[in-house]
Chain A
C-alpha cells in the first residue's frame, strides 16, 4: 500500500462530516432566527403604538386608555431598594470568597451554601417574603417586602459574579501592592477592585436586568395592586411592578384594551431590560476599546 486510498468507509465518513457541518450551521441559523424573531415580535407589537403619556398615566381598572405610570415607577423603586441591600452584601461575600477564604472545610461549607442558595427557585423566595413580612411582621404586601425578598434572590448571583471577577485579577499586581507594605484591605480597595470593576459592573447589570423582570417573587410579596398614585415613595404601599402588571392584564384584567396594554407593557419591559444590559456596559466597552484591549 502506498499512501491513503479512498475506501467506501472514508467516503462515508467524509460525507457524514459534510452533512453534519451543514446541519450544525442550519441549527445555529434557526436558533438565531428564532431569537431575533422573538425580540422583533415583542418590540414591534408594542413600540409603534407607544406614546409617552402611556408611561406616566395611571393604570385603569374599568376604562380603556390606562397607562403604566405607577407600576413602572414601582419596578424601578423596588429594583433600587433590592440593589441597595444586595450589592454591599453580595459584593462583600464575593470578595471574602475570592480573597480571604482559606482552603478548608469551612470554606467548602460556605461554597455549598452559596450554590444551594443560588439554586433556590424564585417562588420559594416569594413564600419566604410572604412568611416574613405578611405573617411575622404583619405589614401585608408592600414595596419594602418586595424589595427585600428580591434582594435575597439577587445575593448569591452577585456573590458569584464578584468572586469570578476578583479571581480573574492577576496575582502579580496584588503582590506588587504587598511589596509596597500595603495592608490586605488597602490592596483590595486600591488595586484589586478597580481592576475587577468592569467585570463586576457587568455582573451587577445582569443581576439588575433579571431583578427588573422578576415576577414570581413580587406577586407574592408586593401584591397585585398599586396605591394608585404616581411618585409614591412610601415603603409600605402595595407595589405592583411592570412584570406583574403584564401578568395581571393578561390573566385577570377586565379592561377592553387589556391586549394593547399587555403588548405595550411587554415591549417596555424588554426594552428596559435590554437597556440595563447594554447601556450601562457601553461606557466600559468604550473605555476598553480606547485602551486598545
Chain B
C-alpha cells in the first residue's frame, strides 16, 4: 500500500512535527495491520488444530481397540457384554441407523411442508411469525426435549399403545423429529426462496395451479438444497445424545420393535464412559464408537459439499 494521502498533505505544509506525528501514527496503523492479519490467521488455524485434536485424541484411543479384539468382533457381533469382554457394537450401529431413518421419515415431510408454506403460500405477516418461532425451537436445550419426552410423551405413548414402558425407537424418533424440524425447515425454506422467479412465472403462464407449480417446478429446482437440509438434519439426529438417552431405555440390544428398550451409539457412550478405566478394552470400544460417529458426520458433510458444488455448477 502506498503512502497515505494525509501524510503527503502534511509534508506540503512543511511542518516537521506534524510529519513525525503523522508518520508515527501511520506506522502504528501498519503495525496493527500486520499483527492482526496474523492474529486472524492464527484463529482459523487454531480451529483446524482443534479438529486435529479431536481426530487424534479419539482416533488414537479408538484404534487401540483392535489390539485387543478383531474388527469383525466389533462391527459384526451383536453381543455387548463388557463384563465378559464381549464388545460387539453391531446392535448400536444398526439402532443408530434405524433411529435416524425413522426420525427422517417423520421429520422430512413435515419440515418440507412447513418450508413450502413459509416460502410459497403464507402471506408476509405469517412468514415473519413462523420463522422466528422455528428459530426459538432451535434454541431449546436438548435436555429439555428429553425431559418433555420422559414426562409427557412416554405416558402418552403408554396410553395409546398399551405398552408398559413406552421407551424405544419410536419415542426417541418423535423427540428427534421435533429437534431436527427447524434445521431442515429453515434450510429448505432458503433453497425454495432462491429458486428463480421466472421458473414460477413460466409455469403459471402455462396455466398451472399453485400446487402443480410447487410439485413440478419449485421442489425439483430446489431439490439439491432440500437434500442438503435433510443431510444436515441427519448429522444432528446421529449425534444427538441427551434427548435420546432419556427416552430410549438404555438397554444394549437390537431394536426389533418400535417399543423395544434399546441403545444407540451416543446414548451408550454417555451412559457407560464414567464407569470405565482409561486403559481398558471397554474404554477403547466406547472411543471406537465415538470415532465411528465422527466418521459418519464427516461423510455426511462431504456429501453436502459435493451437492453444493454441483448446485453452483448448475446455476
Contacts and interface: CB of A to CB of B under 8 A. Distances in A.
Chain B residues touching A, majority SS: helix
B231 to A, nearest CB: 10
A4 to B, nearest CB: 7
Interface stretch (B32-40, B65-73, B78-86, B160-168): B32-40
B64 to A, nearest CB: 12
Contacts of B241: 121-123, 216
Contacts, number: 260
Contacts of A120: 51, 54, 239, 294, 297
Contact of A89 (B4, B47, B294): B47
Contacts of B314: none
B110 interface: yes
A216 B58 contact: no
A33 to B, nearest CB: 11
Interface string A1-41: 00010000010011011001101110110011011101101
Interface in A130-182: 130-132, 135, 152, 155-156, 159, 180-182
A8 B270 CA distance: 60
A213 B53 contact: no
B211 A127 contact: no
Given A28-B114, A206-B139, A213-B141, A183 B29 contact: yes
Nearest to B182: A35
B294 A277 contact: no
Contacts of B141: 210, 212-215, 243, 269-270, 273
B219 to A, nearest CB: 12
DSSP majority for the A interface? helix
B137 A35 contact: yes
A42 interface: yes
Interface in B40-60: 40-44, 46-48, 50-51, 53-54, 57-58
B40 to A, nearest CB: 4
B238 interface: yes
A97 interface: yes
B58 A127 contact: yes
Contacts of A130: 273
B147 A117 contact: no
A14 B211 CA distance: 9
B210 A17 contact: yes
Contacts of A125: 54
Given A96-B41, A119-B239, 18 more contacts: A27-B114, A28-B122, A28-B130, A95-B40, A110-B47, A113-B51, A116-B51, A121-B235, A121-B239, A123-B293, A127-B287, A159-B47, A219-B274, A220-B270, A220-B273, A243-B242, A250-B147, A274-B139
Interface of B: 1, 4-7, 29-30, 32-33, 36-37, 39-44, 46-48, 50-51, 53-54, 57-58, 61, 110, 113-114, 116-117, 121-122, 126, 130, 133-144, 146-148, 150-152, 178, 181, 207-212, 214, 235, 238-242, 245-246, 266, 269-270, 273-274, 278, 286-287, 290, 293-294, 297-298, 300-301, 304-305
